[in-house]
Structure 1
Amino acid sequence: MAIYQKSLDDTLVAINAASSPGTGWSLAANLQAVLNAARTANMPLFLRAGTYSTGALDVTAATGGGKPLELIAEPGTVTISLSGSALHLLQVDGVADVTIRGIIFNGNNQALTGSGTRGLVRFINAGASNFSIENSAVLNSTAAGIVAEGGSKGRIANNRVSASVTGIFANDSVVDIEGNHLSTLGDNGIAVWTSSIAANGSIVRNNTIDNVNNASGGTGQYGNAILVFRAGNVKVAENTISNVRYSAIRLNATSNTTVVNNYCKTSREVAIFVEAPTSGLNTNGCVIADNVIDGAGCGISIANAGLYSDGITSLTVVSGNIVRNITKNAIPDPGYTPPTTTGGGIGVEHSTNVTGNLITATQGAAITLGTNDAAINLAAVGNTIVSCPMGIGYSADGSARSLLISSNLVRGFRNITNIADPLYPVSGAIVSLSFNGTTYDRDTNGASANTDYGISSQTSVGNLTVGMNRANV
């Protein structure tokens, strides 16, 4: 088989054939030469149906007259297949206005040996602006499927990415990632990172992500459908996510990021996890709103209050979410503690409003305000809690500061007053609780149950103000 090319109606057409297709066709040295020729002639390159086996392909400012590339095919008919170990399959380095449509890129599980963020299809450096890869497929990559890195800007839309380590990785780049279907990922689905904490503005919208493992191990670095790290002002909206080993959506050291209208089903750990686990890498100003969570080890966690060498996660709004079917899931991964999730619906620690959420069918507390001394400026207002063993648990630690619980409806909780009852630790409508390193347990008042404020009209006790709630067994 050989590659032949022909100019036709202001388009360069190429075909992989055993012999010349006829008059006007010329033999090309390889697929790289055809790409260069199309760019030099300033023509779109249309690939006819077939499989094109090749080594690494490069689009650089030093080739093809430095001009853009438009690479197109009838969707589903053309496969560009990696023939052996290589730096990548296709890389666009510093060239603007590159468009790719309708191509299947198959990595054949060949080793990718490039530097930086390794990937099968890569758009790198600031000159690679206004790129677009659409209606294509990226399969069988031993690293990432699609990479945007080093200041590139563009759009990754309506593609299928599967059988890769990470599906789409945007690193120090601003990318619209929309309408893609990602499945069977080894480590993460979509990652949006920056090298240092900085505004970014990428959009992750309307993607479908299923089956994300954590093949590289760890305790949450891998196994996430959408992972935002250090990049700020990111919009995560309207994604459908299922079957992940850790989190459906994980925000780490980001600011002013919104997570809105996502559907998250079957997360082994925390479905939506907002955290700052390292000192100096803070997370603030995030909105977690109108998401549906169905099945997780914990529903929503807003974690870290600047204690124990952690960063601070603050100024967060958790509003209008539906959280249901939350179970205590065993996570036997090395280094993961505690070994079982808490089964809680929503847990917060620092400067967070929890308002207007509907939570049902949890195995732990529906809402937890604070973890021992990590309990600062927290409000739970106007939430509806149905059929959860504990409604709202709050920290009564002496270091807890400014907690408000008001206008919540709690129905179907465990009403237990005997502290010897084995179900007492997870019971009550609005009660104080403590974390013992493994579980959140309802406090006691000596040999008696602690006070349940579920029907208090208005009460202030220490740093807690509670009132106007309604609790019914």
Structure 2
Amino acid sequence: MVITQASSSPGTGWSAVANLQTAVNNARSSAKPLQLLPGLYLTSQILVDAASGGGNRLEMFAEQGTVTVRLSGAAPYLLDVNNVPDVVIRGINFDGNNQAITSSGIAGLIRFEGSSTTDFILSECSVTNSPVAGIYAASNARGRIADNRISNCDTGIFSIDCTVYIEDNGLSTLNNNGICVWTSSLGGNGSLVSGNTINWVNNAAGGTGQYGNGILVYRAGNVKVSANNIFNTKFSAIRLNAATNSHVVNNYCWNLQEAAIFIEAPGAGENLSGCIVSGNNIDTAGLGITVANSGLYGDGLADRCLVSNNIVNNITNNAIPYPDGSKPFTTGRGITVETNTIVTNNVITSTAGAAIGLGVNDAAKDIMASGNLINNCPMGIAYSANGSASSILVNSNIVRGYRNITNVSDPNYPISGAIVSYSFNGTLFQRDTNGGSPNTDYGNATQTSSGALTVGMNRANP
């Protein structure tokens, strides 16, 4: 079926049917694809469900860039696919027109929901001007969202309790988050977030990291986040909360206000295990890569992680706007880990703080830094010497261009040294002292053990 606008009433009339909903129903009932000819189609909500159109699938398409379907007024959504399999939508510009979306809870301008919504495809479309998520998948829908352009929405793509393949989309100018993959409870998910470009993500809703992220994965395990380009976010480029057995690989991240890649177990019972962070290129951020929380103080446990083969550059102390109006600064560390994690074969250059931090006070157990190349960082590898720390191994690293300071009164002493112990005072990570003397720098030590630390075969040149 082919439809066009009535020439006597551009944007409101139709040549053969009363409205776009009727056209969709007729196409489904006759089991034919629906082609929209060029034009602007002003419409209210469109529903594709098992009770309409003979229960048949829908294929709706247009020549890319020639058709805009615009929401005419407040509605629960612009398009909802509910428990209908094999729906294909291609080449259409969906414009929310900044109209109020009246659905309760998490809402979306374009929605795919229900366990019978299998193998849906949304491709080559544009989704714009939505006060809620541009695209929303929920309730065990499964499908592919690819090659779309999404802008001026609250969140670009929000998936909860779905397995989705989110690939090669361009997202920009988003109020709170770029792409969210969530599950209601901890468990395997298997979604793929790959090849997307995300630019300018704000944190209009405030928060201390819930918003302002390029990609946010929460409780969804076995998710692969790969080959994305993420720029200009108010918090993280990629944030994984309690997302076990996930991969964050080969992404490019630039100009992030907080941690570029943040891996954490945010609360008791929300653990994260088996995450691989590898091959990422990070440039300009408040922190580089952080693997946080050791099951202490009401947090979950993040462990069995590998941080390898990443390039981290230009990490600075940035002010982060918090909801209470305060603006605490990041601490400029390149890579920081706490428990049962390996940091290996990374290249770290130009940090404001430590290039690598091993442990945070008593959160320091079974961690290793090996084969890393560190250049022009004031503090090379800093480790926790807390009495509760255990099993920290530092070997075969090169540290070049660090601050070699032996006077604890020097204002630069707190951020100095090649391989030294440090601690967190609640605000800053600072090099420890030995009374009125500097603590031991193990930058060029032969194999040595001291407390929890075993160190050796490193090379340090100030």
Following TM superposition, by how much is the alpha carbon of 1:115 offset from its aligned partner in structure 2, in angstroms?
3.1
Following TM superposition, by how much is the alpha carbon of 1:223 offset from its aligned partner in structure 2, in angstroms?
0.2
Name 2:371's counterpart in structure 1: 382
1:70 paired with 2:90, answer no
Look up the equivalent residue of 2:98 and give its one-letter code. N
Name 1:150's counterpart in structure 2: 139
Separation of aligned partners in 2, 1:50 and 1:408: 62
Look up the equivalent residue of 1:344 and give its one-letter code. R
Structure 1 segments unaligned to the other structure (5+ residues): 1-11
Separation of aligned partners in 1, 2:326 and 2:183: 28
1:124 paired with 2:96, answer no
Residues 434-473 of structure 1: matches in 2 within 5 Å? 434-473=423-462
- Which of the residues 353, 361, 367 maps onto 2:350? 361
Residues 19-168 of structure 1: matches in 2 within 5 Å? 19=8, 27-168=16-157
Conserved 8 A contact 2:82-2:117: yes
Look up the equivalent residue of 2:429 and give its one-letter code. Y
Name 1:268's counterpart in structure 2: 257
Conserved 8 A contact 1:102-1:134: yes
Separation of aligned partners in 1, 2:318 and 2:393: 30
CA deviations on 1:374-411 (whole Å, 9 max, x unpaired) are 00110000000000000000000000011000000000
Residues 315-464 of structure 1: matches in 2 within 5 Å? 315-335=304-324, 339-464=328-453
Aligned alpha-carbon RMSD (Å): 1.3
Separation of aligned partners in 1, 2:189 and 2:342: 25
1:232 paired with 2:214, answer no
CA deviations on 1:37-93 (whole Å, 9 max, x unpaired) are 000000000000001101110000000000000000000000000000000000000
Separation of aligned partners in 2, 1:331 and 1:465: 36
Separation of aligned partners in 1, 2:333 and 2:317: 8
Name 1:6's counterpart in structure 2: none
Residues 247-266 of structure 1: matches in 2 within 5 Å? 247-266=236-255
Following TM superposition, by how much is the alpha carbon of 1:188 offset from its aligned partner in structure 2, in angstroms?
0.2
CA 1:472–1:20 in structure 2 vs 1: closer, same or farther (change >3 Å)? closer
Name 1:3's counterpart in structure 2: none
Following TM superposition, by how much is the alpha carbon of 1:337 offset from its aligned partner in structure 2, in angstroms?
8.0
Conserved 8 A contact 1:20-1:27: no
Following TM superposition, by how much is the alpha carbon of 1:298 offset from its aligned partner in structure 2, in angstroms?
0.2
1:14 paired with 2:10, answer no
SS at match of 1:17: coil
Name 1:189's counterpart in structure 2: 178
SS at match of 2:417: coil
Following TM superposition, by how much is the alpha carbon of 1:334 offset from its aligned partner in structure 2, in angstroms?
2.6
Separation of aligned partners in 1, 2:181 and 2:117: 17
CA deviations on 1:275-325 (whole Å, 9 max, x unpaired) are 112111001100000000000000000000011100010000000000000
Conserved 8 A contact 2:286-2:330: yes
CA deviations on 1:395-434 (whole Å, 9 max, x unpaired) are 0000001100000000000000000000000000000000
Separation of aligned partners in 2, 1:461 and 1:301: 25
Following TM superposition, by how much is the alpha carbon of 1:26 offset from its aligned partner in structure 2, in angstroms?
5.7
116-125 vs 395-404, greater mean Cα deviation: 116-125
Following TM superposition, by how much is the alpha carbon of 1:117 offset from its aligned partner in structure 2, in angstroms?
2.5
CA 1:153–1:213 in structure 2 vs 1: closer, same or farther (change >3 Å)? same
SS at match of 2:31: coil
CA 1:416–1:373 in structure 2 vs 1: closer, same or farther (change >3 Å)? same
Conserved 8 A contact 1:354-1:381: yes
Following TM superposition, by how much is the alpha carbon of 1:331 offset from its aligned partner in structure 2, in angstroms?
1.3
CA 1:347–1:413 in structure 2 vs 1: closer, same or farther (change >3 Å)? same
**Alignment length (residue pairs):** 459
Separation of aligned partners in 1, 2:319 and 2:161: 35
Separation of aligned partners in 2, 1:112 and 1:346: 41
Separation of aligned partners in 1, 2:150 and 2:106: 17
1:299 paired with 2:294, answer no
SS at match of 1:421: coil
Separation of aligned partners in 2, 1:336 and 1:268: 16
1:199 paired with 2:188, answer yes
Conserved 8 A contact 1:20-1:26: no
Look up the equivalent residue of 2:95 and give its one-letter code. N
CA deviations on 1:326-375 (whole Å, 9 max, x unpaired) are 00001132358881000000000111100000000000000000000000
Separation of aligned partners in 1, 2:9 and 2:189: 49
Name 1:8's counterpart in structure 2: none
Separation of aligned partners in 2, 1:336 and 1:126: 43
Following TM superposition, by how much is the alpha carbon of 1:202 offset from its aligned partner in structure 2, in angstroms?
0.3
Conserved 8 A contact 2:6-2:15: no
Separation of aligned partners in 1, 2:327 and 2:45: 45
Separation of aligned partners in 2, 1:20 and 1:460: 83
Name 2:276's counterpart in structure 1: 287
CA deviations on 1:158-177 (whole Å, 9 max, x unpaired) are 00000000000111000000
**If the length of structure 2 is used for normalisation, what is the TM-score?**
0.98
SS at match of 1:27: coil
Separation of aligned partners in 2, 1:249 and 1:41: 45
SS at match of 1:429: strand
CA 1:45–1:467 in structure 2 vs 1: closer, same or farther (change >3 Å)? same
SS at match of 1:32: helix
Runs of 4+ in 1 over 3 A off after TM superposition: 335-338
Identity score, percent = 59
Following TM superposition, by how much is the alpha carbon of 1:212 offset from its aligned partner in structure 2, in angstroms?
0.2
SS at match of 1:255: coil
SS at match of 2:285: strand
Conserved 8 A contact 2:4-2:15: no
SS at match of 1:302: strand
Conserved 8 A contact 1:219-1:336: no
Separation of aligned partners in 1, 2:248 and 2:171: 19
CA 1:360–1:337 in structure 2 vs 1: closer, same or farther (change >3 Å)? farther
Separation of aligned partners in 2, 1:64 and 1:48: 21
